[in-house]
A = this chain, B = another copy of it.
């Protein structure tokens, strides 16, 4: 089965790019399953349930979030209504929502799980390594096809997670920095890995935002409105070909599609 993993979708341009590309790739049979990171889908901020549901309707099978999960208050109340919208599993115990979902496909169950890193991130998350152990040895003990969105800043921590889960899950893919890395690979024991999928949104920008206000903020320290940029959007991500019996990845291919 071919699984498309889509990097952080930013604002309306990102949603439009996603809708076009996802629909076409599914229709043409290029991919069978789509995991989309939606943590910036609403004007660059965290989505409402409506916006996340629109991504599901546009072809995503699962939407993952991240540190922006609760930007929209509606998501705090609403995440529990749709199990295909997930947030990091190692959020504090009291948080709403769930950190994984098991989706039935014609070829068997496929699990998507999200973990959030701690280096250079806001304090307050449980250990992602211990949480991975707990889940893989517990609720996911008999699953073999598992895709892990590791949402984080530092390349060291995400790479460490990829190595730690090698042979235990099908793929570990990074999100959050909006900057695609070129290190996609299948590790020795069969886990596909990439440090960051990149971004789905206007390429002529700083991480999806207009250039001028971001530069002005660095120069003056005075807050500026960081509007989503207006240029043509690009979809970035990667496609993993996974063996649904063994859960091993055959290949990972990095993609960047301009609209």
Contact = CB atoms under 8 A, between A and B. Distances in A.
Interface string A146-168: 00000001111101100110000
A23 interface: no
A178 interface: yes
Interface in A203-243: 206-207, 211, 214-216, 218-223
SS of A interface (majority): loop
Contacts of A93: 127, 130, 219-220
A164 to B, nearest CB: 5
A25 interface: no
A84 to B, nearest CB: 21
Contacts of A216: 94
A164 B155 CA distance: 25
A95 to B, nearest CB: 5
Given A156-B207, A179-B195, A181-B182, A163 B218 contact: no
Interface string A70-95: 10010010000000000000011111
B121 A164 contact: no
Contacts of A155: 177-179, 207
Nearest to A130: B93
Contacts of A121: 123
14 contacts: A70-B222, A94-B216, A96-B222, A120-B120, A120-B123, A126-B126, A130-B219, A155-B207, A160-B206, A160-B211, A160-B214, A164-B218, A179-B181, A180-B183
Interface of A: 70, 73, 76, 91-96, 118-121, 123-127, 129-130, 153-157, 159-160, 163-164, 177-183, 195-196, 198, 206-207, 211, 214-216, 218-223, 254, 256
Given A95-B222, A155-B178, A160-B214, 9 more contacts: A120-B123, A125-B221, A126-B127, A129-B218, A153-B153, A156-B206, A160-B206, A182-B254, A182-B256
